[in-house]
Structure formats: C-alpha cells, structure tokens
Amino acid sequence: MAKLPEKGQTLWGFTVTERNSISMLGAETAELFHPFSGARLLYIHNDDRELGFNLIYRTPQLDNLDSNHILEHLMLCSCPSYPSRDVFFDMDSKSYSTFMNGITDNTCTCYPVCSLSMEQLIKLMDVFLCCMEEPEALKDHRFFMREGLRFELEDTDGELSMLGTVLSEDWGHLTDLEENADSAAAQALYEGQIAANLLGRAHFHYKEITFEKIRQTYEQLYDYSNCLMILYGDADLETVLRFLDEKHLSRFKSRNLNLRPLFGGPVSSGFRKTEVKSPAYEGSPAEHSSVIDYTIDLSGLSQEDVICMGFCAGMMDQDTSPVQRAARSLGLNNIIDVYLDTALARPVLKFRLQNGDKEQQELFFQAVNQGLADMAENGIADELYHAVIKENRLADLLMRETPHLGFHLSEDIGRFWSLTGRTDYYSLYERTFTHFSADQEQSILRRLAKQVLNPPSAVLSAAIPVPGLAEALEQERDRWLREKKASMSPKELQALIRETADFKKWSAQDKSCLDFLIQPEQLPEPEEDPPFFSGLRHGIFCCGSPSPLAGIGSYQLFFDLSELSGEDWNYLTLYQMLLTELDTRRFCVEQQKNMEQEYLYDCTFDELYPDADADENSRPMMSVVWSGLTEDFEISLDFLLELMRNGNYEDRETISQVIEKYLPDYDLSKSENGPSLAYSLAERYIRQDSRFRFQLNSPEIYHFLKNILTILIREQAHPDDEAARTDANQISSSLYTLAQKLVSRRKLIFLAAAENASLEHILDRASTLLSQLPERNENGFMFSNHLSLPSWDQAPSLRTAACIDSSLEELRMLGDFKKVPEFKGRFLPWLLAAGDKYVKPAVRYQGRAYDSGIDFLLPAGYFTLWSTEDPDIESTLSVFNRTGQALAELKLTPEDLQGYILSAYAQALPPIGILNSRMRAMRRYIMGISTVYINEMIRNIRNSTVNDQKEASDLICRLLKSGPVSVVGNEKIILEYKNRFDEILKIKEKNGTV
C-alpha cells in the first residue's frame, strides 16, 4: 500500500490536518481540509479491493415534512453535466458499481458508492458532485412532482389523487409501530427543538409540503463547507485529490456554513410521560401489541462515555442482566431491548418493551430503575461482563467480512461528524474499548449506571396500536382531496388536468445519460473458489479451507432431518426457540446465555433441502453456522451439542413463558414481513429448498405455537386435569424425541475455515466429538429413510396473494432459468435493460410504486421482477407480464448495452470477505452448485451484443409465462383484484384462504 501524506503536508489544495490508525481494519487514516471550499475528506487506507466513496452533508431535520428525504431523491435526478430523467438510476443500472444509494438520516444525508474499479469510482464521483453543485431538479418542478408530491386529475369528473415517491414510501410506514414510538419519544423529550423532528413523517404533514420549501432547504444545507467526503480502500489518493480540486472544489468558495449549533440548545430537564395512538388496520391485534419506551437523554456525556454507554447497553440487553432479571421478578415476560440510539440528533439510551400493554408502563419503569440501581451498586456478573467484551472483540475482528464496508464505516463516521465535527470515531472507539475492557472493577459501568439512574431528562412513552385508525387516516386524506378539488375553480381544474398530462408525457420520456461508463474489457476475471479439502474423519464428512486470518474461524454443521415426520416439522420451530431458554444437564440458562455470546458468535439456525444437483445431499437438513476464536473451538462445539441435545423439556412452565414472550415475532401479518413473505411465496413454486423453508416457517406456525401455549396454560391452571396433563406430556415427549432424532452423527457434515496452523486440530477435534453422537435414537430404533412432510404432495399455487397489516403492496414475479441450458450470461444485461428501460419507468415513474426493477440471483438460477410499496396491482402485473415483449421493442444502442454489461457483471460478482468466500465455496460443493458454471455465466456477460435482443426477449417471455407471481399487502386492494390469483391467504385472520 502507498504511504499516506504526513500531517501538515499539502496536496492539490488539501492540507492534512490529522493522521490516525484503525487497527481492526488494518487501516491508516488521513483527514484533509480544503480551505477554499471548506470541504473535508477522510481517507481510510487499507488493502480492501472494494473501494468506497461517501459524500455526506450535515442535514438537521428542520421540519417534520421529510424535506431532507425529498431533497435526497431530487439531488441525483439530473444536472447540466449529466442530463437525465434520473441519473441515479442510470448509474445504478449501467455502471460497475458494487453498491450505490442515497440515505437520509436524522442528522445527515449520505450519497455512498462502491466499486472494484478506481476509474469507475471517479467517474461516478463526478456525477454525484456535479448533481450536488447544480441539481436540475430544483429548476424543473416536475422532478419534485415525481419524487416528492404531486396532484393528478385526468378530467373534471375524475378523482383528485395525491402521489409522489417519498410520500408513498412514508405512507407505507403508516402502521410502523416502532417508527411511531420513536417519534413519540423524541417529541416528548426534545419538544420545540430540531431533535424532536424525525425523518419519514411526510404522510402526517402532506398538506404543508411545497416545492419552494424544498428549494429553501437546499439553500440552507448544501455547501461544501457543510460536507464530509470519505474515501475508503486501496485507492489512488493523489488522483482523487487532484480530481476533486481541479474539477469541483476550486470552483466553489466556502460559505462557512456552521449548522452544528442547530443540534444544540438546553434540553428541558425532568421526567415526562406520554402516549401516542399508532395507526393499525381493522383486524390487527390491539392487546399485547404496544411498544413502551423509557428514553434517557445522554447529551451531557462525553463522547467516550457515549461509546461506553453503548457497551453497557449491550450488557443490559442480555437476558442475564440486572435489568432483565428485575423485569422477570416483577412479572414482565416481554422482550425488552436495550440499546444506544445514535441515529437521533442527540444520543439517547433506550429501554424498549415489545408486545406490551399500556398498563405495564409503571412496572416497566420500576424494573429498569431497579436493574440500574443494582448495576450502580454491584455491577454485573463477571461472566456476563467478559462474555460481552469478547463478543465485541469478535465483531471487531470480523468487521472486514462485511460487504461494502466502505459504506458502512462512512455511515457511522458521518453521523458522528455531523454532531461533533470530528472524524476519528473508530480510533476513539478502539481506545475507548481498550479502556473499558481493561476495567476489571467495572467502575465505568457502575458510574454510568448511577448517572442514568437519575437522568437530567427522560421520557416514559407508549405507542398503542389502534385498529381502524389506519383506515380513518386514509379516509381523512381522501376527504381532504375531495374538498381540495371542490374548492378549485374551473380554470384551476383545467390547469391541473393539463399539468397532469404534461407530467405523464415528460415522465414517459426515455432520457438517460451514459457519460460515466468504463469499458467492459477492464472488468476483472471472476475468481476461482479458494482451495479446500474434504473427506471422512472418524466417520464424519468434513471440509476445511485454510484462511490467512489469524485467530478467527467460521464453522458450519449440517444435521440430517430425514428421520423427522408428522408433527416433528412443526416442533422444529419450537425446538429452535427453546435453545438457551431451558436448563440442560450441564448448564443452567444463565450460563448458556453468557457462553452463547462468548463462544457462538452470530450463531444462526436454518433449514434447507438442496435439489437433485446435490446428489446424496439432496435431503432435508438443518444448518448451524457460527464464528469464534480458533482457540475456543472445542469449547464452542461441545457447548453447542449440549444445547441441542439436553434441554429440560419437562420444564413446561418455562416453555410456556418462552412461547408467550416470542410468539408475536412469528405473526407474519405484520407489515415489516411483506417483502420477505412475497419472495417466499414466489420462490416456493420454483425451488424445493424454498418450498421446504416456507412450510417450516409458514403462517400456520404462529397458530401451532399459540395452540401449544394454550395446552400448557391449561395444564398449569388445572394441575389435576388428567387430559390436560396428558396433552402437555405429549409436548415434552415430542420435543425430547425431536432432539434425539436431530442431533445424531447420521449423514453429518462439518465445514471449517480457519488459519492453517489451527485447521487440522479443529477438524480432528470436531470429527472426534461428532463421532460420539448416537446413530440410533434412545429407543434403539434405526433411523428411517422415509420422509413425511406436511402438504409436501400439494403443489403451491402459481399466483398467490397474502393479506397483511399493510397500506401498500409488495409484488414479485419470477423467471426460472436454472434448468434452461440456452439461457446464457450474455442475456443478463438484457434483463437489466428491460428493468431500467421498461419496468421502472412504467411502475415507478408513470405508476405509483416507491420503486421497481429486475434483479437476478445467479447461484439460485432465477430473476425477479419486483415492486415495493405499490398501490397498483393490476397495472403493475400487466407491466410485468409484458416485459419480454417490451424488451423486443426497446431501442438500445451499443453504449446502452455496455452500461448494462457493467451492471450485470457487478451484480453477478459481488465482493465477499476472506472467511465468507471459503465457507461459500464449501457450501456450494455440498449443495452441488457449480462455481465453474457460475463463472462461465459471468464471463459470458461480456459477450453480450445487440444481436442477442430477440433471443433474450423470447426467453424472458417464455420464462415469465410459466413463472410464479406473489402479492403481499393491503387486503382491500388485493380483494379488489382477487380474480388475478389462484389463492389468497388472509394472514390477518386464522390463516384463511379466499
């Protein structure tokens, strides 16, 4: 890596003001200042090949209109140097970028981009900067009409409608309970201050939004003196500095904006209580559904103490902490989250009770203070303290595994800078963590607990869902629109009709920009799989891959599920829910909670059923993945097996408490489940693996768990009832039997990626421990090869809808090319062309969806047409169905196609971390996924020519004609188009179908 300039050195108008290092990133940093423009740049230099750039502006929420968010959408629409209908989507769909976005926060607005090409990165940086300097959207109000808010009227007898991309996005969050809870707490805590205003509230303030207010916001906020740029990775710093100075910064004299004081001001002292009604749709649960927050202002703490408070919050968030214990002792069996919230304009410590009732507020408040008092006096258990410290250390060691790390780092630094003016967040974090972890007496923790026990300012708030309020707000909006139309003169009506027609004509124009392209010949070759080896060890099939990372490893187990049958499948969810919640033969629950943090980092359980390509591995399996220090491997595996085998399933009182606590998480009718549910419903039609997962995690699981809870409660209420006891005993027996069937050495597979010096020992110890597992269950019966899955013989519907508690829809249509040999990589750019030139304009620009497009998943072998937060089922599905035909009619230039080649290549070849790349290679081997085939497809992307258009169009037509469709969202809208579907799931009710 090149040497960074020293402090005080000047290059291309920049002077180095600070030099630092971030050891967990293997990085050196340099902060540079450009006096003429007032801009700052932080360079984080390491050997990461994925380069990142983020343009960050300090943007206080000056109002509740979501003005900064609307402005963020407008900034990257067009500019004189790069004229377009939407240059952001030009770049996103036609460049070699691995990540790109625009992100509005409560304190700053970010414009990040990542790429594996230095040349591509600089070209995209130029587009971003030109758009910031002279956004065309602030001259042409039609961009505002599209992205922010517009009124449409087709004729004098028609209905007046109100549309806009950001408005639609915000309206889609109407029933977001946690967002409404956050707003209630901020309004009460910081009443009258900018800190009280949160983003995403336009749906409550649409009457006040105007184009002029957005233009004023730009003038107030956008200047290089109010900007931080962050460059990340193994970049050419001098080339970047020269480019920035010559092409941009030297042309703009600093206005010396200083907006940090807007975040300041005294916070009203004292304790306050507040309640807010949160909109919900009819049929949504009202009981056990509220969010209760206790929010403590931390404005008076130093930056070091704020970071330390984050560590303390992580400890209080654990089930074994004094706060959680106090809650249980007072009879609160709810999920209680504790976290440091730095996304607000002021840092706060938040205690959040989920799935509660407003009557629990005082008890919750008492539990928090009781726990804090205990911590202030006694600290926390040493086992918990050290477990959380180790968990944080593991997270730091594994940070380089994060994809698009340049973006994630810069987002954190941007928030920190927007409030403090400093860029040394991660250096400060490392120093503070070292100090905190060395504090064996827990003096820091006890001091901070004492401070927040009697805070200068705090709020106890409740967000209470009100079924029917969502419909009432929609009716209020519709009534206001009717009144607005009635108040307009005939002349005004005619003007609006002409404006609507003009807007639609303008929005339908195919105006794009391609001046940022690089040549496809510059694209890198796809990488081959990292080396790994495999074979039987002590009868266990093991795969290992050496890693250059010292002291850290990733592991995965595949347990065979072929023995399971009947209700075993439903019990699998309950079995996983109970892990670490029941005493085992060797460890009590408290020990398990601490050991899980220390030894099973990021441990996840998943079910899978690979298809026939996996040969003997084409069978139902349960996967367990975790990471940890290599020196702790044997302890981690031994502990994991103890958890999985030896739970005390006779402890039915605890089982009922656990189900009651986590049951709401399995209610798929919540609006946040819409996107994942839409994909699941569509994928299950084309993939055995997806169908298997959906059956094991279907909406019916919620009602299964609810029924189990009813049985257990009945036994506890009537201990002398023989029938109740028999039913409850059957639950314990089923769980015990499942554990015995599941945790065996039968067809067991183990994967490990670790440093070479430790890998052989890890594989040897793993195979030795795993070989000691039984191959028979405790009754001595051999495992069966018979597989009985619920409803496995019933094919899923081709066109499925699901009604959930949502105001808008998620739509998905899939095309399956996995078993279509004539589908080549050179057709993938044409898919993206269809998405960019046809689907997105029709559904987003001319339609009413928040966003839409086409993506593909190369290893999975399918592509997806999608729209999100969309109120138009009929028109969107019509667009989707016509995609192949529309592609045949598109007029694409070779330059257009060049852009789609770059984008397809970036999507097909995403960056991946060192450990993750090794684990992925071994997983592909187990699943029968050919990296050779994938790389051939990737290489073939560069062979795409304009002569492929007809063949691509015909193939896409064919695949979509037989592909599945799913729609998830608002029941009223779905039922209006019920004839479009073969099956409608009413998840808001008792999993009924229409």
> What pLDDT score does 791 carry?
53
For the chain, count helices (H), then strands (E).
35, 29
- Least confident range from 106-115, 218-227, 517-526: namely 517-526
In a domain, 280, yes or no: no
Provide the whole-model pTM: 0.93
Token pair, residue 107, equals: 């304190």
Q: What does the pLDDT read at residue 776?
A: 61
Final residue before a domain boundary, out of 228, 259, 290: 259
Q: What number is the average pLDDT over the span 245-252? A: 97
Q: What is the pLDDT of residue 994?
A: 38
Q: List strand residue ranges (DSSP E) for 182-324, in order.
A: 227-232, 270-280, 290-297
pLDDT, position 510: 86
State whether 724 and 817 are in the same domain. no
Same domain membership, residue 844 and residue 757: no
Q: Tell me, rounded to whole angstroms, the distance of Cα 255 from its chain centroid.
A: 37
pLDDT score of 788 more than 90: no
Element (H, E) at 598: helix 589-599
Q: Is residue 272 part of a domain?
A: no
In this structure, the chain runs to a length of: 994
Sorting pLDDT into bands at 50, 70 and 90, what band is 785? very low
SS3 816: strand
State residue 487 phi and psi, 5-degree precision: -80, -10
In 902-973, where do the E strands start and end? 965-969
CB neighbour list of residue 704: distance below 8 Å, 6 or more residues apart: 570, 573
Domain that holds residue 42: 10-259
**pLDDT beyond 50 at 992:** no
Name every residue whose Cβ is closer than 8 Å to that of residue 409 and which is 6 or more positions away in sequence: 25, 44, 52, 230, 232, 426
Q: How many CA atoms lie within 13 A of 433 on its CB side?
A: 22
Is residue 223 over pLDDT 80? yes
Measured in whole angstroms, the distance separating CA 300 from the mean position of its chain's CA atoms is 31
Q: What is the distance between the alpha carbons of residues 264 and 267, in angstroms, rounded to a whole number?
A: 9
Residue 705 lies inside a defined structural domain of this protein: yes
Is 93 found in the same domain as 191? yes
Q: Which of 259, 281, 307 is the last residue of a domain?
A: 259
Residue 278's SS3 state is: strand
Contact 968, 974 (CB under 8 A): no
Question: Are 761 and 811 found together in one domain?
Answer: no
307 lies in some domain:
no
Are 93 and 832 a contacting pair, CB within 8 Å? yes
Average pLDDT over residues 177-204: 95
How far apart, in whole angstroms, are the C-alpha atoms of residue 688 and residue 691? 5
> Which residue is it, tokens 């209080």?
316
The CATH number of the domain holding residue 120 is 3.30.830.10
Query: Are residues 728 and 849 both part of a single domain?
Result: no
Q: What is the pLDDT, as a whole number, of residue 847?
A: 86
Q: Which residue has the tokens 């081997």?
A: 925
Is 831 among the domain residues?
yes
Look up residue 154 and give its amino acid: E
pLDDT for 989: 56
Q: Is 855 part of any domain?
A: yes
- Quick one: 183 and 51 in the same domain? yes
Coarse DSSP helix, strand, coil percentages of the chain, rounded to the nearest 5 percent:
50, 20, 30
Q: Which residues pair with 80 in a beta bridge?
A: none
Specify whether 751 is located in the same domain as 852: no
Same domain, 917 and 875: yes
Among 259, 281, 312, residue at a domain's last position = 259
Which residue shows structure tokens 């890890």?
Answer: 762
Helix (H) or strand (E) holding 704: helix 700-717
Phi first, then psi: give them for residue 25, nearest 5 degrees.
-105, -5
Assess if residue 489 is contained within a domain.
no
pLDDT of 128-163, one tens digit each? 999 999 999 999 999 999 999 999 999 999 999 999
d(CA 394, CA 598): 9
Q: What would the pLDDT profile of 271-281 be if each residue is shown by its tens digit?
A: 999 999 999 99
Task: For residues 364 and 560, give the distance between their C-alpha atoms in angstroms, rounded to a whole number.
Answer: 43
Reading the block at residue 390, the tokens are 């180790």
> Binning pLDDT at 50, 70 and 90, where does residue 447 land?
very high
Pair 351, 293: CB distance under 8 Å: yes
Mean pLDDT of the chain: 94
Q: Is 732 part of any domain?
A: yes
pLDDT of residue 783: 36
Q: Report residue 860: phi and psi, to 5°.
A: -80, -20
Pick from 76, 7, 103: which is nearest to 410 by CA?
Answer: 103
The burial of 403, by beta-carbon neighbours within 10 Å (0-12 exposed, 13-18 middle, 19 or more buried), is given as: middle
Question: In this predicted model, what pLDDT tens digit does every residue of 29-65 receive, in sequence order?
Answer: 999 999 999 999 999 999 999 999 999 999 999 999 9
Please, are residues 960 and 796 in contact by the beta-carbon 8 Å criterion? Answer: no
675 and 824 inside one domain: no
Partners of 962 in the β-ladder: none
Structure tokens at 540: 């266990």
Number of domains in the chain: 3
Same domain, 723 and 828: no
**pLDDT of the residue at 792:** 52
Averaged pLDDT, 921-933: 95
616: which strand partners?
A: none
CA-nearest of 402, 399, 447 to 426 is: 399
Q: Are 198 and 186 a contacting pair, CB within 8 Å?
A: yes
Q: Looking at the structure, tell me whether residues 749 and 806 fall in a common domain.
A: no
pLDDT of residue 567: 80
Start-to-end Cα distance in the chain: 63
Q: Is the pLDDT of residue 781 over 60?
A: no
Q: Does residue 144 share a domain with residue 68?
A: yes
Closest CA to 284 of 986, 994, 966: 986
Q: Which residues have a Cβ under 8 Å from the Cβ of 655 and sit 6 or more positions away?
A: 574, 578, 581, 582, 649, 712, 731
Is-contact 624 596, C-beta < 8 A?
A: no
Cα atoms in the Cβ-side hemisphere of radius 13 Å centred on 830: 30
The three-state secondary structure class of 134 is coil
Average pLDDT value for residue range 253-275: 94
